Amino acid sequence: MSKRNPKDRAIISTINELGWDLLTQFCSDTTPKSTLVSALSTFSALTMLAGAAAYSEQREMCAKLGAGGLRDLQSTYPKMRRILESDRVFHSANGLVAETHVRVSPQYQDYLKKLRVDAKLYFENLAGSVAEINEWISRTTKRRIPTLLTADDLRGVPVALINALIFAAPWAEPFCPRDTVRSAPFYPTTKNRVERDCHSGYDSERFTAVRLPYRCTPPSEWSMIAYLPNKHTSMQKMLQFLRTQPFPPFAQHRVGRFCLPRFDLQAQHELTSTLQALGYPVDGSFPGLAMGGENRVGNVIQGLSVECNEEGTVAAAATVVLIERGGPPSYIPELIFDRPFVFAIVADELDLAICTGVFAGY
């Protein structure tokens, strides 16, 4: 996978844009509140879902995910995971959780295999097995997301598609705990903060950005980029601007004092209506999973946790697509030629009609 490859670049751009779009939906200028989203975890869960969709929704979903088709997802997604997991600072896992009566089509099984789906868990009843499902998510996220789902979330749900991921790394240049200020002004709230005197910075008319690298094993590189809006720039305008921009270039700067709050944040979202508003076809049917009738996405739930302190950062996310029974199988229309009709005998290779006619019954 390469940033220079157009197909790979399209998917990377889609994930980044989805992150800004989701954050914009959950962040308000009128009542500023800390929140988190994970576009990568959302993308991973939707990538699993795409392979089970009906053909029309499948094409639409692939296009929204920045891919030309399922083959592009099958090719790019595993390569992206291998690059992200080349260092021990990052780990992710995908799982199919289903009740024992669910039948997965051979095509969908093959699709999941090529995506490197790590776990297939089967239970008599998902609602009654919520503890085991939460345990898988908790173990994958190193206990950062211990109880994402409730039994009520899983009631009437025969299938769940799950992505979970964890990132944990120290700073390349750790902050000194002695420099931590226990009480410092932060608007609109007060937080602890940490200080250092050198950073990689970027200034623009709208914001000042800083890049804080993590300690990794080359060639792996990870960093936190923090954007401080200028006082006249609202958070909504800031997020909308960032959606259209690549990550900025950075240069080394020395400052008299650099202060960054330490924080420990948790968030949980129901993403279904938000994804629909963004144009993702999560309200279609998914025949790749046979559950004794039509099926549909009942909910998309995401849980997140990020802790940032003097030593480094731990970030975890889990996204669950819950697929419900949607009622009896839909009506399949009949087509009966019981009145006069037109016909043509065509050489398909050339789209050439060698004979055309009308049949009127006599």
**Other beta carbons less than 10 A from residue 95's beta carbon:** 23
Q: What angle do CA 87, 40, 59 make, to 5 degrees?
A: 130
Comparing C-alpha atoms, which of 253, 260, 254, 255 is closest to residue 309?
260
**Other beta carbons less than 10 A from residue 60's beta carbon:** 17
At residue 303, the pLDDT reads 96
At residue 196, the pLDDT reads 42
- For the chain, which residues score pLDDT lower than 50? 185-203, 328-332
Q: Is the dihedral of CA 135, 95, 307, 186 positive or negative?
A: negative
Q: Record the tokens describing residue 63, joined without a space.
A: 């296009």
Q: Record the tokens describing residue 212, joined without a space.
A: 């804080």
Is residue 225 classed exposed, middle or buried when 0-12, 13-18 and 19+ CB atoms within 10 A define those classes?
A: middle
Q: Record the tokens describing residue 46, joined without a space.
A: 């939707």
At residue 51, the pLDDT reads 93
**Other beta carbons less than 10 A from residue 353's beta carbon:** 11
At residue 199, the pLDDT reads 44
What phi and psi values does residue 264 have, to the nearest 5 degrees? -140, 100
Comparing C-alpha atoms, which of 173, 251, 168, 172 is closest to residue 218?
172
In the chain, alpha helices (H)? 6-26, 39-50, 55-64, 70-84, 106-114, 130-140, 151-154, 235-243, 272-277
At residue 314, the pLDDT reads 93
Largest CA distance in the chain: 99
DSSP 280-332: --TTS--TTEE-SS-EEEEEEEEEEEEEE-SSEEEEEEEEEEEEEE-SSPPP-
At residue 328, the pLDDT reads 47
Q: Whole-angstrom Cα distance, residue 115 to residue 48? A: 8
Q: Which residues, listed in sequence order, are joined to residue 318 by a DSSP beta bridge?
A: 164, 303
